[in-house]
Amino acid sequence: MKVAVYPGSFDPVTNGHIDIINKTSKLFDKMVVAVIHNVSKKALFTLAEREEMVKENTKHLDNVNVESFSGLLADYVRQKQACAIIRGLRTAADFEYEMYIAMANKTLYPSAETVFVLADSKYIYISSSIVKEVALLNGSVAELVPESVNKALALKKAAMKI
Ligand code: PNS
């Protein structure tokens, strides 16, 4: 069975991420979306909130499981016996950063290949960081994220009283 792991912070999941999951899940028998605690980023949503938002928006895909974890990605990929690590690419700027991560993961767990999947052109400028900034400054992100995420951003903003 060919298993792929798609790791990320997903803080929050965007339409760009969902597009990558929709496309890539067709290429593997099973895809595990791993919502990760990224030690170098301060998250707006808790790990549990992020996991729930990804679950809600991938429930139409039978071969996709969503989990969260804190730790080394290579260990997680080994545990899942996955043959591929999926990362989405928007522009060449993404590639340089992603190449170093891919090389580190290849050294730590040589049995998995990193597979880069191109984002659809209509999602090329979308990132979780842009979504958070626009939403927290009262801009509309309805076109950039699933409806449930749009609502969650509004609730988070209200809770923060900004
Ligand atoms: O969505 P992001 O924040 O760009 O995802 C980055 C992520 C979470 C995939 C990366 O930070 C990661 O793999 N973190 C787990 C810790 C780890 O294995 N680090 C070594 C590889 S860089």
pLDDT, position 53:
98
Give residue 159 CA to ligand 1 midpoint distance, Å: 28
> Which residues' Cβ are closer than 6 Å to ligand 1?
7-9, 36, 38, 41, 72-74, 101, 104-105
Catalytic residue flag (residue 129)? no
Catalytic residue flag (residue 60)? no
* Residue 18 pLDDT > 90: yes
Catalytic residue flag (residue 132)? no
CA-closest residue to ligand 1 atom 6: 8
Give residue 145 CA to ligand 1 midpoint distance, Å: 22
Q: Which amino acid is at 101?
A: I
pLDDT in tens, 55-94: 999 999 999 999 999 999 999 999 999 999 999 999 888 9
Candidates 41, 59, 122, 151; catalytic one: 41
SS (H, E, C) 58-87: CCCCCCEEEEEECCCHHHHHHHCCCCEEEE
Indicate the pLDDT class of residue 39, thresholds 50, 70 and 90.
confident
pLDDT in tens, 101-154: 999 999 999 999 999 999 899 999 999 999 999 999 999 999 999 999 999 999
User: Which two three-digit tokens encode residue 118?
Assistant: 């191109």
Does the pTM surpass 0.85? The reply is yes
* Residue 38 pLDDT > 90: no
Q: Going from the N-terminus, what domains does the chain have, and what CATH number goes with each?
A: 3-124 (3.40.50.620)
What distance in Å separates the CA atoms of residue 84 and residue 162, rounded to the nearest whole number?
41
Average pLDDT over residues 5-18: 98
Neighbours of 46 (CB within 10 A): 12
* Residue 41 pLDDT > 90: no
Nearest-5° Cα angle at 80, 86 to 46: 70
